Amino acid sequence: MLHETITQILEQVDRRKEELIEQVGDLIRFQTPSPPARNTKEAQHYIASKLNSLGFEVDMWDVFPDDPNVVGTLKGTHSGKANSLIINGHMDVAEVGEDLTQWKHDPFTPVVEDGRLYGRGTADMKGGMGGALFAVQLLREQGISLPGDLIFQSVIGEEVGEAGTLECCERGYKADLAVVVDTSDLHIQGQGGVITGWVTIKSPQTYHDATRRNMIHAGGGLYAASAIEKMTKIIQGLQELERHWAVTKSYPGFPPGMTTINPSVIEGGRHAAFVADECRLWITVHFYPDENHEQVAKEVEEHLLKVAESDPWLREHPPLFRWGGKSMIEDRGEIFPSLDIDPESKEVAAVKQAHQRIFQTIPETGMSPTVTDGGWLGDAGIPTVIYGPGDLYNAHAVNESVEIEQIVQFTKVMITLIYEWCHKEK
């Protein structure tokens, strides 16, 4: 049975539903799309002020100019003896673009319509952030003292791989459980990983367009090639490797073929009077939880070098590789570690139990087809799950929205989880 006070707090969520949605709406009004990024400072000050008013010790520092992380720590009455909990979410939202004609409403003006809240970030992931913050607020208003530490992380950069969460881990923040309140449709999820990389084909010399005949016709005598044309062989090689992985690799919780290799961006050539002397391909590689990004990058390199061996010119001018990065904006690269979860672990069981208390049903447990900051927390040795409102059909979408009732129920689950987990002895 739940503590009587907690039951009363859960009833307050329904009575104060409009206040909850208004708080989520406050977050939506902050225009924090990334790219362009460097725009979360005002929103993060709002979070810091809220946490400070709730008795948290607040740590705020710039990851990039005008893009600070905020971490609030509420020390437990038996800190070190009772379980600690991290609630993690990102303040940045997906870019909107210049053409707003497809949007029914201004993306940064929250609108309630037909039981849904509309606005950029409602599903990914200000609905989760606002609901979790409201859960903490209600617990504090009722004077609930938690034995274990509660840590609230509002980070930046998730949408462009800038890993504000990684900075939290490197700053030393740890807990016995972390819940990333990102888009999961209230399923308990782990995830695969992602690494981006650049494959470059480069000619040692640059040639005038008029010399092309000499390099493609019999007897031309010019041992040269267009880097753009040679890149087509690399792309074909990536497609072959992708199909091979689809047949030979699998992981529980994922549909077949999730280990994709996406040729995302291609750049090359100077202008029409030159034969292209360089071509660069930006690829995104997804991998399973039993793999890591170094291993996967090595597999791609080894395969493409074998592809190059089969081509007379590429054999002498093999592709060059650059992997990963800390920002899709600053250095045009990113890494998201995978996150495995054990459905039988006490950490997953705690989230399941909190969900079941509210919904009277067992939540689905599986793997997200996308990536979140959860991988960084798991990589730091913190048992982590992804659990939040919103679905991937709305995340990043025009007219993004979330079901209001889902935010309400999520808030109740978080109240239950925070109370029960932080009252358990380690």
Domain with CATH 3.30.70.360 in the chain: 193-323
pLDDT at 333: 97
pLDDT at 99: 87
pLDDT at 253: 92
Identify the active-site residue in 158, 277, 291, 379: 158
Domain with CATH 3.40.630.10 in the chain: 4-191+339-421
Cβ atoms of residues 376 and 163 within 8 Å: yes
How many angstroms separate the CA atoms of 97 and 237, rounded? 33
Residues lower than pLDDT 50 in the chain? none
4-191+339-421, CATH topology level: Aminopeptidase (3.40.630)
How many angstroms separate the CA atoms of 353 and 347, rounded? 10
Report which of 170, 158, 198, 161 is spatially closest to residue 386, judged by C-alpha positions.
Answer: 158
In 204-341, where do the E strands start and end? Answer: 207-208, 261-268, 274-275, 278-287, 320-323, 335-336
Determine the 3-state secondary structure of 365 from DSSP. strand
For this structure, is 92 an active site residue?
yes
User: Which pLDDT tens digit goes with each residue over 69-102?
Assistant: 999 999 999 999 999 999 999 999 999 988 899 9
CATH class of residue range 193-323: alpha beta
DSSP state of 339: B
How many angstroms separate the CA atoms of 296 and 128, rounded? 32
pLDDT at 2: 66
Identify the active-site residue in 59, 67, 92, 149: 92
Return all residues near 175 (Cβ < 8 A) that are at least 6 apart: 84, 85, 86, 149, 151, 382
Return all residues near 159 (Cβ < 8 A) that are at least 6 apart: 33, 34, 35, 90, 92, 93, 94, 95
Element (H, E) at 308: helix 293-309
User: Which pLDDT tens digit goes with each residue over 264-280?
Assistant: 999 999 999 999 999 99
For this structure, is 240 an active site residue?
no
Q: How far is CA 58 from CA 45, 64, 162, in A?
A: 10, 18, 21
Whether pTM > 0.85 for this model: the answer is yes
pLDDT at 322: 98
